[in-house]
């Protein structure tokens, strides 16, 4: 069996510029349609910058399954959710250390997932259609797959706190190129949501 491998160019960014770029992660998640009661997978969750607000929005009636290959990242994400829980009720969370490409072999088939989001990682996935096929097997019928990506702009133009940020130019994808690789895995393209200043969300639905 192939080894579990970190996707290229997907290291978790430092908190300082990540916070400057994403000052209101809850608003981003509300924009992409996360609502109370959903079961949501945060695929490649990193240190939980989006996991904690996901747990707030999906709430005690929902559930969050946070997945990362790096268990140190999962621990940071768990602490973030714990901190959030001091202020408000959050969804129960499950922490899964696994290779995203093999997640369908790890989670039970009847997990009943409404929504899977992957943020700031899809650009580095070597076989994006194969990963999308794994996602299709995890979602319930009609479930949503959302990919949050850097726009295909020159890296020199995507400046945060005075420095060029994000993946190198040749790894960046347009919404149309995301649509091309994901729809062949059984998804229908729903819409592109702009997430200024430098990102978009490609929203897809499984049959």
Q: Rule CB under 6 A: which residues touch ligand SAM?
A: 5-7, 10, 12, 44-46, 49-50, 68-70, 73, 99-101, 119-121
Closest to ligand SAM by CB, 48 vs 62, is 48
Give 6 or 164: the residue with its C-beta nearer to ligand SAM: 6
User: In the complex, what is the shortest distance from the CB of residue 114 to ligand SAM, in angstroms, rounded to a whole number?
Assistant: 18
Find, among 150, 201, 204, 153, the residue nearest to 180 by Cα.
204
Rg of the chain taking only CA atoms, in angstroms: 16
By beta-carbon proximity to ligand SAM, the closer residue of 39 and 121 is 121
Nearer to ligand SAM, 38 or 148 (CB): 148
Q: Given the complex with ligand SAM, which of 45 and 113 has the nearer CB atom?
A: 45
DSSP string, 73-132: HHHHHHHHHHHHHTTS----EEEEE--GGGHHHHS-TT--EEEEEEES-GGG-SSHHHHH
Smallest distance from ligand SAM to CB 127, Å: 11
| Beta carbon of residue 148, minimum distance to ligand SAM (angstroms, whole number) | 7
Q: Which of 198, 138, 146 is nearest to 172 (CA)?
A: 198
HSE-up of residue 103 (Cα within 13 Å, Cβ side) = 27
**Nearest residue by C-beta to ligand SAM?**
46
* Cα–Cα distance measured from residue 206 to residue 104, given in angstroms and rounded to the nearest whole number: 15
CB of 33 to ligand SAM, least distance (A): 17
């Amino acid at each position: 069996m192939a080894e579990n491998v970190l996707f290229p160019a997907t290291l978790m960014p430092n908190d300082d510029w990540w916070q400057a770029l994403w000052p209101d992660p809850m608003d981003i998640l509300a924009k992409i349609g996360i609502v109370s009661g959903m079961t949501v997978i945060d695929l490649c969750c990193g240190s939980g910058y989006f996991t904690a607000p996901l747990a707030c929005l999906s709430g005690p009636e929902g559930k969050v399954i946070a997945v990362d290959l790096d268990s140190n990242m999962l621990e940071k994400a768990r602490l973030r959710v714990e901190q959030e829980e001091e202020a408000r009720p959050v969804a129960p969370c499950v922490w899964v250390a696994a290779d995203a490409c093999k997640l369908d072999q790890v989670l039970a088939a009847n997990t009943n997932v409404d929504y899977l989001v992957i943020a700031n990682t899809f650009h580095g996935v070597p076989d994006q259609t194969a990963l999308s096929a794994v996602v299709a097997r995890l979602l319930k019928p009609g479930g949503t797959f959302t990919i949050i990506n850097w726009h295909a702009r020159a890296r020199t133009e995507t400046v945060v706190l005075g420095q060029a940020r994000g993946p190198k130019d040749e790894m960046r994808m347009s919404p149309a190129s995301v649509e091309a690789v994901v729809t062949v895995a059984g998804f229908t393209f729903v819409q592109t949501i702009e997430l200024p200043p430098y990102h978009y969300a490609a929203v897809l639905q499984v049959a």
